[in-house]
Copies of this chain bind each other. A is one copy, B any other.
Amino acid sequence: MWARTMRWGDVRMRILIAGGDGFCGWPTALYFSARGHEVAIADSMIRRKWDEELGTQSLTPIASLEERVAAWKELTGRDIRIFIGDLTQWEFVESMFRTFAPEAVVHYAEQRSAPYSMIDRAHAVFTQVNNVVGTLNVLYAIKDIVPECHLIKLGTMGEYGTPNIDIEEGYIRIQHKGREDVLPYPKQPFSFYHLSKVHDSHNIMFACKSWGIRATDLNQGVVYGLWTDETQLDPRLYNRIDYDGVFGTALNRFCIQAAVGYDLTVYGKGGQTRGFLDIRDTLQCVELAALHPADFGEFRVFNQFTEQFSVLELAQRVQRVAQSMGLQARIVHLENPRVEKEEHYYNAVHTKLLDLGLKPHLLSDELIAGLIQTAQRFRDRVDFHVIKPTAKWR
């Protein structure tokens, strides 16, 4: 039986990182392994196939998952177990849960690109089926095999959209016609990908309520940065970083564009404001959730980001840092391929993880300069043809 709260050093847990070969998953697996937990990675390797499909690749060269895990063992003596398979296949999920019996599952194993989900009908359907069915299978595996397991699910701040009121953490107290209730925060997602996360959230909330299992939904902002203590130990441990128009995200993409002399491409006016966080804070947040699990029957929601920026602000900041490094980066406004407000109110509460002890790495010029330097180092790997947005919302 789990204690409600565990202190660092007291607890070693069996933790499954689903999607553990990806941008967030791989550094998370190393982070928990470095801290002595028993870590397993589940991955179908599909993220690498999407690179092939889109004709792109990670800016950084990345080793195979087997090479990564072997290098980690060589450097630290620590084992990470690998389960290769697809969460939409029940036989795989069932067998893995019976074999590993995780005490916590960190679930990153979803198609995570909004533009990818908007390429066409087939990509929209794929994204929703992949994400929803994978999560349903994990929920049933927890219920039937490891009912005490804590599901730590990656959601997205994009589930909320851009309402004209403050965004709360998952729930909102509503007073209406003389009565009141605390209800799930209304969702207005922007893409079939973001919609898939809304579907997941509703499914998980229901499973917690009906089955008494427990879950934390981490509505994560846009992640920037690349390096963590573990991934920079050895080239075989390098993390991936995406700069293409489909999987690349705002800040990282601007840094890479600046490094290779490409214009910083802002969609529309750039007034779109979102929550952002450093990838090192992703790891901290997931660890805080794991060490302070939800109660049985509880569907707990944290907004996981540290600062809000508009897209144009970020482009201007990258431009300024690039200039200090002798690089002239021009900002261009592309016709917005997305249907979204380019000027809007945005204020999202994000105190629950701070209350648990999160110490944010706020965005620094040094981090931006470091990203630009990394991109300069690997600039020969950049294909300029894949930088522009291709998927259109309209």
User: Within residues 93 to 130 of chain A, which ones have a CB less than 8 A from any CB in chain B?
Assistant: 121-122, 124-125, 128-129
- Complex-state Cα separation, A210 to B189, whole angstroms: 11
**Interface mask (A341-361 → B, CB under 8 Å = 1, otherwise 0):** 000010000000000000000
Query: For A203, what are the chain B residues with a Cβ–Cβ distance below 8 Å?
Result: 128, 192, 195
Smallest beta-carbon distance A340→chain B, Å: 9
Q: Is the CB of A165 within 8 A of B177?
A: yes
A163: CB under 8 A from chain B?
yes
Query: For A125, what are the chain B residues with a Cβ–Cβ distance below 8 Å?
Result: 133, 136-137
Smallest beta-carbon distance A289→chain B, Å: 23
Q: Is the CB of A140 within 8 A of B165?
A: no
Known contacts A187-B184, A211-B394; is-contact A192 B179 (Cβ 8 Å): no
Smallest beta-carbon distance A213→chain B, Å: 12
Question: Among the interface residues A90, A132, A345, which one has the most CB atoms of the partner chain B within 10 A?
Answer: A132
Q: Is the CB of A184 within 8 A of B181?
A: no
Closest chain B residue to A211 by CB distance? B394
Known contacts A185-B186, A186-B184, A211-B394; is-contact A179 B206 (Cβ 8 Å): no
Closest chain B residue to A340 by CB distance? B210
Closest chain B residue to A205 by CB distance? B188
A176: CB under 8 A from chain B?
yes
User: Within residues 187 to 203 of chain A, which ones have a CB less than 8 A from any CB in chain B?
Assistant: 187-192, 195, 198-199, 202-203
Interface CB pairs A-B, < 8 A, 10: A132-B199, A165-B179, A172-B186, A175-B175, A183-B186, A186-B186, A188-B205, A192-B203, A195-B202, A199-B202
Residues of A whose CB lies within 8 Å of any CB of B are 90, 121-122, 124-125, 128-129, 132-133, 136-137, 140, 163-166, 172, 174-177, 179-181, 183-192, 195, 198-199, 202-203, 205-206, 209-211, 339, 345, 393-394
